[in-house]
Amino acid sequence: MVDSDPRRSIPRTDRLLAMPEVIAAGEHLNQTTIKAIIAEVQSAARSGEIPVAEVTPTIVSRLGSRSASSLIPVLNATGILVHTNLGRAPLSPAATQAITEAAGYVDVEMDLDSGRRSKRGTGAKAALLRACPAAEDALVVNNGAAALLLAVTALRGSTSANVASANPGAERQCTGATPSEIIVSRGELIEIGAGFRLTDLMTTTGARLREVGTTNRTHLADYAEAIGPDTSCLLKVHTSNFRVEGFTASADVGQLRTLADEHDLPLIVDLGSGLFTPDPSLPDEPDIDTALRAGADLVIVSGDKLLGGPQAGLILGRTEAVQTVAKHPLARALRTDKLTLAALEATITHTANPIHDALHTDPVHLRERTETLAEAVGAAVVDHDGRVGGGGAPGVPLPGCAVELPEECAQALRLGDPAIVARVHQGRCLIDLRCVPESEDQRVAAAIGKVLTSNHLGDHA
């Protein structure tokens, strides 16, 4: 009996749009958004997810609670500092403020004194150079992948000797031979995540990769043998998300510099994560300063990994090499926006930094917080290692602890308010407070308490 189906009485869109309560609740939203929310709720009623009587109140409530963006802020209770699925680095208060201030009109490309056009990104660049005295010049682009793409493309045909010339590309074209071979160790050709392979990125530029050595061992002689007339640069890549252990060998930046000099080739070093200087707590993680002092022409890092800033690709190095890269037409396509420049400068110039804090958490204090939480929710504390994540310090544990909950809690916590993303591991849901601001501890306890209670009720039903 189709006609008695209550779903037939779902209010029509035009009627809903005319309801005073719908109009009032949707005052801050445009028609497209309001109609989309109405359609969403009507469809939920049609499929029986909500009763027909709930259609109007649900629409009113969704219109009222619709935030500016559909991105939901989450508390990262995984213990993974740079969590790519959660937007990598959380910005510092200073960086957050800088973004708000730069949101309107700003002097990003104007000298307010003369009223003339000025260079973009000078503040961020100056901050980078102060943080990295070994760098002569710097350029900020959209992300690490863009930085690598740009560097290998722009330095093609630019030997160390001619990177300074005004138009090296043209010079090469006259002779009809733009060198196109990037020499890189077979052990460093990595896939970063979500199927993103550095190899594919570089070959889209028309470059060819000349892989040298083996997966576990590459010697300086392997690079030397591969160098030929078609070689465009030597590239060294931080393996980021994996480690080769055991019988291994690789050429370091200093050795590669010597070889590059012998053949007049540029040397590019992609470090992935972005430490400015060595961090004693991550002894094996390479840093920009050391790589530049060892002789890299260009060093590439991401802004939103260990550096703890916004998404960005930082290119630092010798003046001629950076200028060659900055002048390449691709640089315009990969440039970064004013919000990123503002946040990056603030990240570099201010001390407070959530990634840095999470990395250097006092273990005693972390345990105290964890015990307080465990007590509040009636659960146990277990040892748990945090991780840098985002390809930084692969395999290096950050010893700490977590509150152990039943695995079923994980989804309910993700869907709660606040949304909490826990680590699901070996059939357990682990709450690691390392990356959770301490000011949120009570909200976390309340959210867990709620989930445990409703789970419990479920058991008795």
Residues in touch with ligand PLP (CB under 6 A):
143-145, 148, 192, 198, 237-238, 240, 270, 272, 302, 313, 391
User: Closest CB to ligand PLP among 148 and 366?
Assistant: 148
User: Closest CB to ligand PLP among 45 and 355?
Assistant: 355
Q: How many residues can be counted in the chain?
A: 461
User: Closest CB to ligand PLP among 9 and 204?
Assistant: 204
Shortest approach of ligand PLP to residue 461 CB, angstroms? 46
Shortest approach of ligand PLP to residue 81 CB, angstroms? 14
User: Closest CB to ligand PLP among 306 and 429?
Assistant: 306
User: Closest CB to ligand PLP among 11 and 144?
Assistant: 144
The CA-atom distances, in angstroms, between 355 and each of 386, 390, 454 are 12, 12, 34
Shortest approach of ligand PLP to residue 303 CB, angstroms? 7
User: Closest CB to ligand PLP among 308 and 391?
Assistant: 391
Shortest approach of ligand PLP to residue 198 CB, angstroms? 6
Shortest approach of ligand PLP to residue 231 CB, angstroms? 21
Shortest approach of ligand PLP to residue 273 CB, angstroms? 6
Shortest approach of ligand PLP to residue 311 CB, angstroms? 6
